[in-house]
Structure 1
Amino acid sequence: MNPRTLVRAEGAIVAAAATATYALQGRSLLVFLALVLLPDVSMAGYLHSRRVGATTYNAVHTYLGPVTLAAAGILTGTGLAVGVALIWTAHIGADRLFGYGLKYADREFGDTHVQRL
Structure 2
Amino acid sequence: MKIQLKLEYAAFILLGACGFAQTGYAWWWFAGLFFAPDISMLGYLVNTRVGAFFYNLFHHLGVAIIVYFAGTALSLPYLQMIGAILFSHSAFDRILGYGLKYPDSFQNTHLGKIGKKAE
Partner of 1:112: 109
Q: For the structure 1 residues 25 and 79, does the alpha-carbon distance in structure 2 shift closer, same or farther, using more than 3 Å as the test?
A: closer
What is the identity percentage for the equivalent residue pairs of Structure 1 and Structure 2? 32
Cα pair 1:12 1:96 within 8 Å, conserved? no
Aligned equivalents of 2:44, 2:23: Cα separation in 1: 36
Aligned equivalents of 2:22, 2:46: Cα separation in 1: 40
Aligned equivalents of 1:32, 1:45: Cα separation in 2: 24
Partner of 1:55: 53
Question: Normalized per residue, which structure has more strand?
Answer: 2
Partner of 2:80: 82
Across the aligned residues of Structure 1 and Structure 2, the Cα RMSD in angstroms comes to 1.9
User: What's the CA shift for 1:24?
Assistant: 6.4
Cα pair 1:57 1:102 within 8 Å, conserved? yes
Aligned equivalents of 1:106, 1:55: Cα separation in 2: 11
Q: For the structure 1 residues 50 and 25, does the alpha-carbon distance in structure 2 shift closer, same or farther, using more than 3 Å as the test?
A: closer
Aligned equivalents of 1:64, 1:20: Cα separation in 2: 17
Amino acid at match of 1:110: Q
Partner of 1:22: 20
Cα pair 2:64 2:83 within 8 Å, conserved? yes
Q: Which of the residues 44, 47, 63 maps onto 2:42? A: 44
Structure 1: 5+ residue runs without aligned partners?
Answer: none
> TM-score w.r.t. structure 2 length?
0.82
Question: Number of matched residues?
Answer: 113
